[in-house]
Amino acid sequence: MDIETMALHGGYAPDPQTGSTATPIHQTAAYAYASAEEIADVFAGRAPGYVYTRLGNPTSMAFERRLSELEGGVGCLSCSSGMAAIASVVMGLTRAGDHIVAGSGIFGGTVSLFSKTLSRFGVTTTFADSGDPESFRSAVRPETKLIFVEAITNPQMAVPDLPVIADIAHQAGIPLVADSTLTTPILVRPGEWGADIVVHSVSKFINGHGNSIGGAIVDTGKFDWAKGPFEDIASLAKLAGRLAFLAHLRRLVYRDLGCCPSPFNSFMHLTGIEGLALRMEAHCRNAMALAEYLAAHPKVAWVNYPGLASNPYHAVASKLFGGRYGGVLTVGLGDRDRAMKLVTGTSLAQNLANIGDSRTLVIHPASTIFQEFPPEERDAQGVPDDLVRISAGVESTRDIIADFESALDQI
């Protein structure tokens, strides 16, 4: 099955009770059984069944099957948000005294989770250079339990060399976790390049319509949990085989943290994922055209898009993503004032904190998403004051360019 077909049919079946083509929205908190014995059997694991939506829900599981198939994984756990997915993964792999190596220039929310929230619980993080694989190797310590990268970093637009970093992780006996939000399985399956766990902010390109928040965790099936340094997960390996990590999360960490998605949101994400291949094609085409237009514009100081041949990550992106470079680009306007004028000046492009909507989006990250970090830290994260982030939508290329042309005319 080609990936466009899999987006519609992967793990799909019409509802067995009614034949409904669209997955029913099981907007329920719990599930009733006819007898005390039957529900006891389900709780004890002797019989299949649902008990409580925080643990599992049929609509959410339909979405999980679809995404797992698309990623070529062994299973998927869907979450209330991308941050819930990342938090569940990392809290499932670490305990007090453990260490994370993460790439630089990654999403501010993830930086905050690692450096401000998890540090409260004795888990420390070193940020290596996303563009320099060897910097990951030198950052690994005996207590490091995972390496975390973004397939394309947001908003630095770095493209880490996945297979090289995967090797470094595996030589240290630890898993590589890849956040593939900006790429989605359409551009790359990180598992094929050695990643052990893939996380997504489903809120972005997968949902595709900016209507619901969600997250997901996919186990690519590559990591041998029975042999890794995680004793509690290894003890589940006998029971669950390659699903040991997902079982560890669903039965313990994810369950206890309460990271479950809304069944209604899962329905929206299912609807969105079905058109993902078509949308990514349009996002990439429009981002490339806009990047080329802006790179030639006299009022634009610089353009950062891996699709441009001059971009430092063009070669590695070409190797990993099959000739497409994603829907997100960043541009520099020279100073903060001009950057904010560009953001205010567009009318088609919506000024908001999101990426991957079908509509083109624009934002000034330094004064918004990264405003809690002092200027020196923002600079270190690759977010200068003149940076504008654009998420190219699926409108016509002509209309998108005309919108930015008009906004630039006013600066």
Partner 1 sequence: MQITSNGKPAEVTDNITVTDLLKELKVATPEYVSVELNGEILDREQFATIRVSDGDTVEFLYFMGGGEL
The site for partner 1 (CB under 8 A) is made up of 42-52, 55-56, 75, 236, 238-243, 246-247, 250-252
Measured from the CB of residue 95, what is the shortest distance to partner 1 in angstroms? 18
SS (H, E, C) the chain: CCHHHHHHHCCCCCCCCCCCCCCCCCCCCECCCCCHHHHHHHHCCCCCCCCECCCCCHHHHHHHHHHHHHHCCCEEEEECCHHHHHHHHHHHHCCCCCEEEEECCCCHHHHHHHHHHHHHHCCEEEEECCCCHHHHHHHCCCCEEEEEEECCCCCCCCCCCHHHHHHHHHHCCCCEEEECCCCHHHHCCHHHHCCCEEEEECCCCCCCCCCCCCEEEEECCCCCCCCCCCHHHHHHHHHHHHHHHHHHHHHHHHHHHCCCCCHHHHHHHHHHHHCHHHHHHHHHHHHHHHHHHHHCCCCCCEEECCCCCCCCCHHHHHHHHCCCCCCEEEEECCCHHHHHHHHHHCCCCEECCCCCCCCCEEECHHHCCCCCCCHHHHHHCCCCCCEEEEECCCCCHHHHHHHHHHHHHCC
Measured from the CB of residue 20, what is the shortest distance to partner 1 in angstroms? 19
Tokens of 350: 């919506």
Nearer to partner 1, 59 or 181 (CB): 59
Nearer to partner 1, 75 or 384 (CB): 75
Distance between alpha carbon 377 and the CA centroid of its chain, in Å? 23
Nearer to partner 1, 51 or 380 (CB): 51
Measured from the CB of residue 254, what is the shortest distance to partner 1 in angstroms? 11
Nearer to partner 1, 255 or 299 (CB): 255
Nearer to partner 1, 68 or 156 (CB): 68
Nearer to partner 1, 47 or 402 (CB): 47
Measured from the CB of residue 240, what is the shortest distance to partner 1 in angstroms? 5
Measured from the CB of residue 232, what is the shortest distance to partner 1 in angstroms? 12
Nearer to partner 1, 60 or 144 (CB): 60
Nearer to partner 1, 23 or 104 (CB): 23
Measured from the CB of residue 241, what is the shortest distance to partner 1 in angstroms? 4
Measured from the CB of residue 250, what is the shortest distance to partner 1 in angstroms? 6
Measured from the CB of residue 361, what is the shortest distance to partner 1 in angstroms? 37
